[in-house]
Amino acid sequence: MTASEMNAVFDRCITQYHINDNVDAAEENPFSKGSFESLLFHKNWIDTVQWHLEDIIRDPQITPENALVIKRRIDASNQDRTDLVEKIDDHYLKNFENVTPLADARVNTESMAWAIDRLSILALKIYHMRIEAERKNVDEALAHKNQFKLNVLLTQRNDLSLAIDQLLEDLEQGKRIMKVYRQMKMYNDPELNPVLYAQQNK
């Protein structure tokens, strides 16, 4: 699957979310359950909901009680996001399990899935920056500033898409090593977070 096809899935998901534009709306995944497209759609849905939760929690009028509820949702969302990234990496580990790396094969700075994670977030940035760039009730200076930022994001997506396609090609040819390090988040683990395991020992 090319980066361009991934971008199409992400854009479709973001468009789908904004039909209701509600962090509590049910996800309507149009792809076959178990397919890679379905996995990418679900990943981007999590990112999109979290994007809007981050907006909500920054409301200066939010009550401390509601802020805590949203913060807990964001924490859970971050864990879900990490879990989905690892599932995407599992997909590529299986795809390339029979590829023997060349003697001079190199290690990449990040796994394929974390690069795709950045692509998903870029799709969100582009969607929302385009809205800001097209706003009519702003002065000319801000309009130009927003358009400049949008152009940078579009260039960034083109570059990242190319890099992902090149990495896929290198992995297929054994020029890069498919190596994955699992995220070892400590704050959600009752065995590793001192605050949590202290509660168990009381």
Q: What is the pLDDT of residues 80-122, one digit of tens each?
A: 999 999 999 999 999 999 999 999 999 988 899 999 999 999 9
CA 170 from chain centre, in angstroms, equals 23
Residue 106: phi and psi, rounded to 5, are: -105, 160
Give the pLDDT score at 171: 95
- Domain contains 63: yes
Q: What pLDDT, on a 0 to 100 scale, did the predictor assign at position 185?
A: 66
Q: Residue 62 has what pLDDT?
A: 95
Report the number of distinct structural domains present in the chain: 1
Q: Which domain holds residue 49?
A: 3-189
136 within domain boundaries: yes
202, part of any domain: no
Q: Is residue 150 part of a domain?
A: yes
User: Is 110 contained in some domain?
Assistant: yes
Q: Give yes or no for a contact between 171 and 100, defined as CB atoms under 8 angstroms apart.
A: no
60 half-sphere exposure, CB direction, 13 A CA radius: 0
Residue 173: both structure tokens together: 């040819």
**What are the pLDDT digits (tens) for 122-174?**
999 999 999 999 988 889 999 999 999 999 999 999 999 999 999 999 999 99
Domain presence at residue 198? no
> CB–CB of 106/177 below 8 Å?
yes
Helices (H), 173-187: none
Asked whether 45 and 155 are in contact (CB, 8 A), the reply is no
Residue 202 pLDDT > 70:
no
Task: Give just the sign of the alpha carbon dihedral 166, 168, 171, 173.
Answer: negative
DSSP at 111: -
The token duo for 189 is: 């683990």
* Closest C-alpha among 185, 187, 167 to residue 177: 167
200 domain residue, yes or no? no
Whether residue 200 has pLDDT greater than 80: no
Say if 201 falls within a structural domain.
no
Residue 177, H or E segment: strand 176-177
What mean pLDDT is predicted for residues 69-76? 95
